[in-house]
Structure 1
């Protein structure tokens, strides 16, 4: 006869999430997460600049390349940043061990972030079975060609070692901030966008609710998923569920990609306990209609009484085709339509041939969607 016993000593281990901020931009991002009261994650600041580490709010700080740099940074040289990481590789190995999820965040284009972040990603990939997610920014155009090229080289390298890479071009912020915004404030906003991206994913895992999106769901959708995009929307009032869903799938963080290109989508609702079933149903229906019928969609609901009557919807979309290929194909289709619509002069044809050689990012500048041109406030 089988006896059934009542027990409550089930194995209960939360996913171990580590957020590693590399260099100045990455360090600023984790400072903002700490200030925002993000819970359930472990923060680690990694830098070659000892003064920057002293200003870090993280409890765990690692100075890399101590012999190489003497704590004075790498002067914007990614090669030195990489050498510094290798000099301190044992510390990095110790940092990533036992993690279930590793976020590596950095502002690309400088020395430490561009040089060390790919080394840290490679170490996490080789040393652990963790899900490794990169969250990086690309420099503003006004920062110059050298920083832009350094950023591109590091991003290409990062792609080889992460499961998913979320890239945020800082120039996108110019479309959503006031023209009178100071350069210093623009950098702060860029840092905060990194914070929003990481918190948007970590909150999905760490904030329990009636309908959970657990770590296994996140891992299934984001493992080896390539390019990832995230949108966050929040609203109050009678139509808050639809407005939040609209904001999330038309977020500045989604660049000008369309969500129907995603192969996997995670949706998380965060609200007080007054969220109605009809609100959840209607918002999910709105998101499903905007998505591919073949996309794997997971959703969850978490409670946070501090939200009051505000509803926040986080959408994480993954598995896009390569960004360069998507933009190039869209540009080619647009050009073909224009050719068929009207005759062109030899000068116009020459201009089109020259534009074939533009990078995807340059082509992207011609295709800034209207909602970015009109939007004047960034989601907080």
Structure 2
């Protein structure tokens, strides 16, 4: 596309029947795209629109350019505006925060972090609705939280040991590459997975801690599952929707940010 958003969008429109055939029959569609260029910024909104017209819940994971990429940022802002018209939920990962988090990491490894964030989030969502739980969550719950919800943050946290509840809450609320204000957010889906020793009191404390900053009347949907193999570990997935992105903000506590686990092997 040569960086031309309009050209990429026209190419997607010309292939709309192929796009429709590729996504037909799915209830949930995940889109991954880079904003600021031609292909991602031009094609993603067209694919999202086609998926929504076919009745799917559409969740977009997108990257936002570095501050120095002035022209790409302008394109990204325009593309995000078009994308938001056609998605249910959009999650933005900022390249600048990646720079703050891992300035000396080789470039290939640094961008693998973003790939892992997306993979972890998708796996967390699909596992939550795919596998049965003691307090069950299903696709209808996910749709309730994500349909027409705007910007969202999806976090994965964990804790172990005597302070595992506090650690799980803190790690779930800390995401070094996403900057959001959750105050006043209207909806959240929280799922807690633990070993055989996980108590209902621990699970509810985690849910309360993760949702403390939400609107007083927020729609919070909660689920919990036991996996004996986890032993004393607790894993948490939270989806908070209707949040306000704060693009360009800095990582406040690098020590906390670096404790965030981006590895694929650690999730469930």
| TM-score, structure 2 normalization | 0.88
C-alpha deviations, 1:251-302, integer Å up to 9, x for none?
22541x3333210011011233332222112212323433332111111113
Match of 2:162 among 212, 235, 238: 238
Q: Distance in 2 between matches of 1:306 and 1:79?
A: 50
**Structure 2 partner of 1:214:** 138
Within 5 A, what are the aligned runs for 1:182-193? 182-193=106-117
Go from structure 1 to structure 2 and tell me whether the alpha carbon gap of 1:242 and 1:373 turns closer, same or farther (over 3 Å shift).
closer
1:129 aligns with 2:55: yes
For the Cα contact (< 8 Å) 1:229–1:253, is it kept in 2? no
For the Cα contact (< 8 Å) 1:138–1:170, is it kept in 2? yes
C-alpha deviations, 1:138-170, integer Å up to 9, x for none?
12335x223222222211100101111111112
**Structure 2 partner of 1:282:** 205
**Structure 2 partner of 1:154:** 79
Q: Distance in 2 between matches of 1:319 and 1:151?
A: 20
For the Cα contact (< 8 Å) 2:188–2:211, is it kept in 1? no
Q: Distance in 2 between matches of 1:287 and 1:264?
A: 12
**Structure 2 partner of 1:194:** 118
**Structure 2 partner of 1:83:** 10
Q: Distance in 2 between matches of 1:307 and 1:175?
A: 32
Go from structure 1 to structure 2 and tell me whether the alpha carbon gap of 1:306 and 1:374 turns closer, same or farther (over 3 Å shift).
closer
Q: Distance in 1 between matches of 2:63 and 2:204?
A: 34
For the Cα contact (< 8 Å) 2:94–2:177, is it kept in 1? no
SS of corresponding position for 1:141:
coil
SS of corresponding position for 2:221:
strand
For the Cα contact (< 8 Å) 1:136–1:194, is it kept in 2? no
1:375 aligns with 2:228: no
Unaligned regions of 5+ residues in structure 1, if any?
1-73, 328-360
For the Cα contact (< 8 Å) 2:174–2:256, is it kept in 1? no
SS of corresponding position for 1:123:
helix
1:225 aligns with 2:149: yes
For the Cα contact (< 8 Å) 1:135–1:197, is it kept in 2? no
Q: Distance in 1 between matches of 2:23 and 2:105?
A: 38
Deviation at 1:180, TM superposition (A): 1.9
Deviation at 1:185, TM superposition (A): 1.5
Deviation at 1:306, TM superposition (A): 4.9
1:269 aligns with 2:192: yes
SS of corresponding position for 2:253:
helix
Q: Calculate the aligned-residue CA RMSD, in Å.
A: 2.2
**Structure 2 partner of 1:141:** 67
Within 5 A, what are the aligned runs for 1:286-325? 286-320=209-243, 323=245
Go from structure 1 to structure 2 and tell me whether the alpha carbon gap of 1:234 and 1:286 turns closer, same or farther (over 3 Å shift).
same
> Hey, which of these two has a bigger chunk of helix by percent?
1
Q: Distance in 2 between matches of 1:374 and 1:247?
A: 8
Task: Figure out how many residues of one structure are paired with residues of the other and give that number.
Answer: 262
